[in-house]
Amino acid sequence: MFSQRTRLVGVVLLVAVAAAGCGDSPATGTSGSPATPTAQESPGRQLGTTAQPGSAPPSSAAPQAVKHVFPVQGKSSYGHTHHDYPASDIIAACGLTTVSPVDGTVLEVTRSDTYDAKVDDGATRGGLSVSILGGDGARYYLSHFSSVDEGIEAGTPVRAGQPIAKVGRTGRAGACHVHLGLSPACQKTGDWWIRRGVIWPWSYLDAWKAGKEKSPVAELDSWQRQHGCPANPPQDGA
């Protein structure tokens, strides 16, 4: 009888000891209550993190939708070809108003004509010019102006249809016209060999003249995936 009671007490003690050893298991805290799971972090993001309503978009947010308009007010014409590289020459009378073709921000402004035909430097062929970074992410370059409006400076926000300059024939221009070049932003400033234009603008001009919305972003993205952003001008200077 004594030995049977002793064995029962021993079993009870062993069970108690085993239970005490499980007090800090992963499923419970030291108090025995359920522990809060810890979020695990993976490269680039943390699990369980969500954007809150009204929070600022990430820096990689898609370009915003913007308005486009035809860049010259008054009678004008343009062709579907251009010398040396893709661009459009909008033929119009000197002095007509040129407007921003897009909502955006001015990147570069050239107010003096330093073109020398004997040197024929590609960087100065545009004469008086304005480069705009559209809100859609595309770059819009317009040149050969007779004058650039006051208040149009690098960093100035502009709206589609806002006057920016007057049609002229500065730089390498045989007649009054506005050169329009479309390009990816790339270096944003100084890269004249890209800024002057890399895709044909005429289909966009057709749309804008008809009052239709059309952005060159998709075509420019495709061009940039294929060509990147060439760091140096072409050897022939064209």
Domain boundaries, the chain: 76-227
Q: How many CA atoms lie within 13 A of 180 on its CB side?
A: 30
pLDDT at position 79, please?
86
Mean pLDDT of 79-100: 94
Q: What is the average pLDDT score of the chain?
A: 80
Is the pLDDT assigned to residue 188 strictly greater than 80? Answer: yes
Full-model pTM: 0.74
What sign has the CA pseudo-torsion 222, 228, 233, 234?
A: negative
- Distance, in Å, from the CA atom of 148 to the CA atom of 153, rounded to the nearest integer, reads 9
For 102-143, how does the pLDDT look when each residue is reduced to its tens digit (9 = 90+)?
999 999 999 999 999 999 999 999 999 999 999 999 999 999
Range scoring the smallest mean pLDDT among 5-19, 35-49, 114-128, 210-224: 35-49
Residue by residue, DSSP assigns 132-169 as EEETTSEEEEEEEESEE-TT--TT-EE-TT-EEEE-B-
DSSP annotation of 87 reads -
The residue that leads in pLDDT, 104 or 52, is 104
pLDDT at position 62, please?
58
Beta-carbon contacts of 107 under 8 Å, excluding residues fewer than 6 positions away, are 131, 132, 133, 139, 154, 185, 188, 189
Three-state DSSP at 81 gives coil
Beta-carbon contacts of 231 under 8 Å, excluding residues fewer than 6 positions away, are none
Mean pLDDT of 31-41: 35
pLDDT category of residue 235 using cuts at 50, 70 and 90: confident
From 179, 83, 191, select the one nearest 130 (Cα to Cα): 179
CATH code, residues 76-227: 2.70.70.10
% of the chain residues with pLDDT over 70:
72
